Amino acid sequence: MGNPKNDSRTYCVIGLGNFGKTIATELQRFDNHVIGVDISEARVSSMADVLSQALIVDARDDAALREAGLSSCDTGMVAIGSNLESSILASINLKMIGVSTVWAKATTKTHHRILGKLGVDRIIHPEVEVGKHIAQVMHNPLVRDYVSLGNGYDVVNFRIPESLQGKRLSELPHIKKFNLRCIGVMRTTEFIGQDGSDCQLENDDLLLLLGKRDDYRKFAASL
């Protein structure tokens, strides 16, 4: 797929199972230069026409990674979860060959602690994180999706229930009573208002609310 463009970044993804393949594909879709690495010929072949490069390389061998050109990558993702030794060695090797930012998938608390001691910049537990995310959305059917901002604050994509249809945004009790801020009202793809504006809510509108999780629950329960 040629050389990376001047406005793109270069990423390497080690491990092309479902998790790694998804990350690599999305990074490529964002017009980055992406190098996918796996020891499985079948996995590499399946990504050959998708990524900038797809290489059969043993990530436990730092010389092989360097020879494959991974030292030029801005960021690396170690997406190996099932083989603890391979995950650890791949993370060490990316650091050794000069990849400035290394992310890694962890499957256990011990795995997480080891990766942390190795200086991995970002450690993720995808199954745990996705599970928590889904549970929050399942718990409240009015919540379409949410983004955690840290320190207990979320931005929630909140579907308008029938009880709010026809009401004006200024009539809602979310600010004073529930300590929530409306940072936007979305109608299909159009941004039509926020706190302080006098828009009238319609069926299928979405409120983008900023606040703490307990306050969202109280607000939803009041509707």
Q: Which DSSP string do the residues of 147-206 spell out, in sequence order? A: EEEETTEEEEEEEPPGGGTT-BGGG--TTTTT--EEEEEEETTEEEE-TT--PBP-TT-E
| β-bridge pairing 101-105 and 181-187 | unpaired
Choosing from 65, 93, 124, the residue where a domain stops is 124
**Reported pTM:** 0.76
Which tokens go with 87? 């995950």
15 and 118 assigned to the same domain: yes
**pLDDT by 10s per residue, the chain, length 223:** 444 555 679 999 999 999 999 999 999 999 999 999 999 999 999 999 999 999 999 999 999 999 999 999 999 999 997 899 999 999 999 999 999 999 999 999 999 999 999 999 999 999 988 898 888 788 878 888 888 888 889 999 988 888 888 888 888 888 889 999 999 899 888 888 788 777 889 888 899 999 998 898 888 888 8
Contact 183, 155 (CB under 8 A): yes
The owner of tokens 């299928």 is 204
Parent domain of 208: 130-222
157 and 77 assigned to the same domain: no
